[in-house]
Amino acid sequence: MLFACISADVYEMIVDCADYETALSKLKRVYVKSPNAIFARHALATRKQNPEESLQTFLKELLVLSKACNFQDVTARDAICCSCKKRGHFSWACRSRLGSKYSG
């Protein structure tokens, strides 16, 4: 039944699939792209609350936008290291306090 609704190009991709789930997963890998994290972070940073929008709706929208940002957990050590590097204060003393991971 699936073959009646698809083009020849798509047919060539899924002709060797044994069942519907396999074909669907193969098509998702080809056609469903992961969101661009840079664009998602820009959208999150620039999103403003509309005058007619409630605070609860705005916060829900921010939560939805944040899911596409691919944020990762940051340890205190990583935050200090990043801060030192950005300010150009990545001195020998700072490296020795942070440990060998950030020494080079």
pLDDT digits (tens, 9 = 90+) for 34-80: 778 888 888 888 999 999 999 999 999 988 888 888 777 767 766 76
Q: Which of 86, 78, 83 is nearest to 102 (CA)?
A: 78
Q: Does residue 59 share a domain with residue 83?
A: no
pTM of the model: 0.45
Overall domain count for the chain? 3
Are 42 and 62 in a shared domain? yes
Q: Which domain holds residue 14?
A: 2-31
Beta-carbon count within 10 A of 82 CB: 12
Residues 56 and 41 occupy one common structural domain: yes
